[in-house]
């Protein structure tokens, strides 16, 4: 495979990334994890900051004052997850200033600039923290060192395990996973007392308070990533006694107990990735076990927060829109307080927010044309705009919502980003992961390759086929037991529709996508020979070998509805490697060596299968990357190879 150092493609990509990022060195370029005091007077948000294009960005907690983002503390390292106490007097946040990558709790009185005081250290890294309703305690969700990360977090583990043995020493695995459990701890603020509250043998993926003396958690009996998919909802006393409240045939997430402990809110959804929960709102009564499903008017709920004992705030996704509302459990009728066609994901995957006592919601909003900004109610508090974002707006073309009918009549949404002019343009279809997730109209469409390719003269379509979030659980479940089935034609019919409308040159169509998007990029080239080039990233290409190498193998088998020992199932008939003889499309196969979700062997298998059938193929495995390519300079190299691949096989000019 050729070295692209010093090529025209590298020059283009380097200039693009420098023009975008260098004006914002030392200041936040994206925002997430917003929080607001109950009176709505003070806000905090986590900002991602590049000081140079090296590694991944550090994070810091900022407040918005007079339209500007100002750091709340001068400490070193990364900080995140700012949360005000119920009375607004103390800010809790997480920082790794002691040991890089290991986050601990810090407390800052009055939220003023200065040095925060550390709380007692827990064994592991804190992933989230929640104040108790009375403001006396903080609940800590702690991941042991070596805990699995989800695909959305980059896969691998939360810290790299240090190898102290000699270089020849074998890698050992006896099937027993004794590290990396997720546990719950409670810190009493006044005394500094630190107590573990989750019992041994319980892995707590997410948790929240349920009144001042209990917590509610989504938990499993094992710590491995596959265990999340069958996790249950449990109620845990502060003395460690636990009882199961709710199980589900699908997945549970976002547990939140009422301040008086009378009810628990949780989201039930069919999911393909931990951290991408978008579904139905359930209310559970701990005293009786009664469960009630709340009508949120077609919104897939992605965030929950009790405003008080009588009001529950939610944020979610409805079609392409971000929606927020307030439910009064006594009558169950939601009152919507926000509906916008902008993304409110704030650098994450799904809409998030935080509620003031008067029902206003604090969100991070962006669109393809608008860089991330912090908005409370209808008021913009601050923006990440800078000369680099102005460059991107001038280079990235425009975005528009497009719809089309699949062969069975189902209406499919997508977002088409394109250069100025009438077209027809060469098209790259950017396929999302999951499969249960969804694109929104968002800054860069979440992926740097979108505006980069538009700048080079390509149109980029980001579709939401059946199986996507935002259209209810029946729509999401249409991909279950049919991955690579009917959704195949959702993509093909979208391309046909854009060709018929004169927007796309049907002789120059390419594919790119990560995770499930990598699978589908590999799969489509074996089902249709129209594609001029494809870039499958972190793909599944052989469901059989995936069953015995992935840390979410059981999920894949359930979603396909297969037993890999049985021949002729979808594990075989939907594996791109077993259809490679039908492919004609040159493929650039990309993977990270540290990916446990879709191990790099998946990309290698498809690469070698294509070569065996005389199809042009290249393989790029990044040794320090996991699920996706995230860090610099690997990302610069990856984007250079993407641009070069499409220019080589389907030039825009």
Pairwise CA distance, residues 149 & 102, whole Å: 14
Q: What is the pLDDT of residues 472-488, one digit of tens each?
A: 999 999 999 999 999 99
User: What pLDDT score does 423 carry?
Assistant: 86
Q: Do β-strands 379-383 and 398-405 pair in parallel, antiparallel, or remain unpaired?
A: unpaired
Phi then psi dihedrals of residue 391, to 5 deg: -60, -45
**How far from 599 is each of 89, 160, 170, 178, CA to CA, in Å?**
47, 17, 19, 22
User: What pLDDT score does 19 carry?
Assistant: 95
Q: Is residue 477, in this structure, part of any structural domain at all?
A: yes
List CB contacts of 47: < 8 A, sequence separation 6 or more.
Answer: 27, 28, 29, 30, 31, 59, 60, 61, 62, 69, 384
Domain containing residue 431: CATH number: 3.40.50.1820
* Alpha-carbon dihedral angle through residues 534, 538, 540, 545, given to the nearest 10 degrees: 130
**How far from 553 is each of 205, 314, 337, 566, 600, CA to CA, in Å?**
19, 32, 40, 16, 14
Q: Do β-strands 232-237 and 242-246 pair in parallel, antiparallel, or remain unpaired?
A: antiparallel
- On whether the CB atoms of residues 533 and 455 are closer than 8 A, the answer is no
User: What pLDDT score does 162 carry?
Assistant: 67
Which parts of the chain sit beneath pLDDT 50? Answer: 111
Nearest Cα to Cα of residue 579 among 509, 620, 522 = 522
Give pTM, 2 decimals: 0.96
User: What pLDDT score does 158 carry?
Assistant: 78
Pairwise CA distance, residues 385 & 379, whole Å: 16
Q: Is residue 605, in this structure, part of any structural domain at all?
A: yes
Q: Is residue 619, in this structure, part of any structural domain at all?
A: yes
Q: How many domains would you assign to the chain? A: 1
Pairwise CA distance, residues 259 & 311, whole Å: 10
Q: Is residue 414, in this structure, part of any structural domain at all?
A: yes
DSSP element (H, E) containing 371:
none
User: What pLDDT score does 124 carry?
Assistant: 95
Pairwise CA distance, residues 22 & 512, whole Å: 27
Question: Look-up: residue for tokens 């049907």?
Answer: 506
Phi then psi dihedrals of residue 622, to 5 deg: -90, 120
Phi then psi dihedrals of residue 193, to 5 deg: -65, 135
**How far from 449 is each of 73, 224, 485, 505, 646, CA to CA, in Å?**
34, 32, 27, 20, 11
- On whether the CB atoms of residues 294 and 282 are closer than 8 A, the answer is yes
Q: Which residue segment(s) compose the domain that 436 sits in?
A: 407-649
Q: Is residue 70, in this structure, part of any structural domain at all?
A: no
Q: Is residue 5, in this structure, part of any structural domain at all?
A: no
Pairwise CA distance, residues 88 & 329, whole Å: 26
User: What pLDDT score does 177 carry?
Assistant: 66
- For 293, counting Cβ atoms within 10 Å of its Cβ (0-12 exposed, 13-18 middle, 19+ buried), the class is exposed
Q: Is residue 421, in this structure, part of any structural domain at all?
A: yes
Nearest Cα to Cα of residue 94 among 111, 84, 85, 107 = 107
What mean pLDDT is reported for the chain? 95
Q: Is residue 625, in this structure, part of any structural domain at all?
A: yes
- On whether the CB atoms of residues 610 and 583 are closer than 8 A, the answer is yes
* Alpha-carbon dihedral angle through residues 202, 208, 214, 219, given to the nearest 10 degrees: -20
Beta bridge partners of 284: 264, 291
- On whether the CB atoms of residues 291 and 246 are closer than 8 A, the answer is yes
How far is C-alpha 447 from the chain's CA centre? 12
């Amino acid at each position: 495979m050729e070295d692209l150092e010093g090529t025209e493609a590298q020059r283009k990509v380097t200039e693009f990334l420098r023009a975008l990022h260098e004006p914002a060195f030392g200041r936040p370029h994206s925002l997430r994890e917003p929080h607001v005091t109950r009176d709505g007077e003070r806000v905090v948000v986590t900002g991602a900051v590049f000081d140079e294009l090296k590694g991944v960005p550090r994070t810091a907690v900022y407040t918005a004052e007079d339209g500007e983002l100002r750091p709340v503390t001068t400490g070193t390292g990364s900080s995140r997850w700012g949360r005000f106490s119920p009375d607004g007097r103390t800010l809790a946040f997480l920082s790794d200033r002691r040991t890089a990558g290991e986050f601990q709790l810090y407390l800052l009185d009055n939220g003023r600039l200065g040095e925060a005081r550390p709380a007692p250290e827990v064994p592991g890294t804190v992933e989230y923290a929640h104040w108790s309703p009375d403001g006396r305690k903080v609940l800590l969700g702690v991941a042991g060192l070596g805990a699995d990360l989800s695909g959305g977090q980059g896969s691998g583990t939360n810290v790299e395990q240090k190898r102290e043995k000699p270089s020849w020493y074998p890698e050992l695995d006896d099937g027993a996973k004794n590290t990396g459990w997720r546990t719950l701890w409670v810190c009493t603020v006044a005394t500094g007392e630190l107590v573990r509250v989750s019992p041994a043998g319980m892995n707590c993926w997410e948790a929240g308070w349920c009144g001042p003396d209990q917590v509610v958690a989504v938990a499993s009996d094992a710590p491995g990533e596959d265990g999340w998919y069958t996790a249950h909802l449990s109620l845990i006393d502060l003395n460690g006694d636990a009882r199961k409240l709710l199980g589900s045939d699908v997945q549970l997430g976002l547990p939140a107990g009422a301040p008086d402990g009378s009810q628990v809110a949780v989201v039930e959804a069919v999911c393909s990735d931990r951290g991408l929960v978008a579904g139905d709102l359930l209310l559970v009564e701990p005293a009786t076990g009664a469960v009630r499903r709340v009508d949120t008017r077609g919104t897939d709920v992605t965030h929950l927060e009790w405003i008080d004992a009588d009001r529950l705030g939610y944020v979610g996704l409805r079609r392409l829109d971000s929606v927020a509302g307030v439910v009064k459990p006594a009558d169950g009728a939601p009152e919507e307080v926000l509906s916008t066609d902008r993304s409110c994901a704030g650098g994450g995957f799904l809409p998030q927010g935080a509620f003031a006592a008067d029902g206003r919601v604090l969100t991070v909003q962006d669109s393809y044309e608008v860089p991330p900004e912090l908005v409370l109610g209808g008021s913009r508090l601050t923006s990440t705009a800078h000369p680099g974002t102005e460059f991107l707006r001038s280079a990235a073309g425009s975005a528009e919502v497009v719809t089309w009918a699949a062969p069975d009549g189902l209406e499919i949404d997508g977002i088409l980003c394109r250069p100025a002019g009438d077209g027809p343009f060469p098209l790259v279809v950017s396929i999302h992961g999951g499969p249960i997730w969804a694109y929104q109209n968002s800054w860069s469409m979440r992926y740097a390759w979108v505006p980069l390719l538009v700048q080079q003269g390509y149109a980029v379509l980001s579709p939401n086929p059946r199986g996507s979030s935002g259209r209810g659980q029946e729509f999401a479940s249409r991909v279950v037991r049919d991955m690579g089935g009917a959704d195949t034609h959702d993509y093909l019919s979208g391309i046909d529709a854009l060709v018929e409308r004169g927007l796309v040159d049907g002789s120059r169509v390419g594919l790119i996508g990560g995770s499930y998007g990598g699978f589908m990029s590999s799969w489509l080239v074996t089902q249709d020979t129209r594609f001029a080039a494809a870039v499958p990233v972190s793909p599944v290409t052989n469901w059989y070998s995936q069953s015995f190498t992935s840390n979410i193998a059981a999920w894949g088998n359930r979603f396909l509805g297969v037993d890999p020992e049985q021949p002729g199932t979808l594990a075989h008939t939907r594996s791109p490697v077993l259809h490679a003889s039908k492919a004609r499309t040159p493929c650039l196969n990309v993977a990270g060596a540290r990916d446990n979700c879709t191990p790099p062997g998946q990309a290698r298998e498809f690469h070698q299968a294509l070569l065996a059938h005389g199809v042009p193929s290249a393989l790029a495995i990044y040794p320090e990357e996991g699920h996706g390519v995230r860090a610099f300079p690997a990302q610069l190299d990856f984007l250079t190879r993407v641009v070069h691949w499409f220019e080589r096989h389907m030039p825009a000019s």
